[in-house]
Amino acid sequence: MPSQTTTQKNSTTGVIPAAPWRIKAVSVLSEFRLAVTFCDGRNGIVDCSAIRNTINPGVYAPLAEPDFFSQVQLELGALAWPNGADLDPGWLHAELADKKLWSVPF
Cβ-contact 48, 79 below 8 angstroms: no
Q: Which domain holds residue 68?
A: 4-103
pTM of the complete model: 0.82
The whole-chain average pLDDT of the chain stands at 89
Query: Using 50, 70 and 90 to split pLDDT, how confident is the model at 11?
Result: very low
Beta strands in the chain (DSSP E): 4-6, 23-29, 33-38, 43-47, 73-75, 78-80, 86-87, 101-103
**pLDDT tens figures, 33-49:** 999 999 999 999 999 99
* 76-102 CB burial, b ≥16 within 10 A, e <16: bbbbebeeebbbebeebbebbeeeeeb
Q: Which of 17-26, 49-58, 65-74 has the lowest mean pLDDT?
A: 17-26
| CATH value at residue 87 | 3.30.2020.10
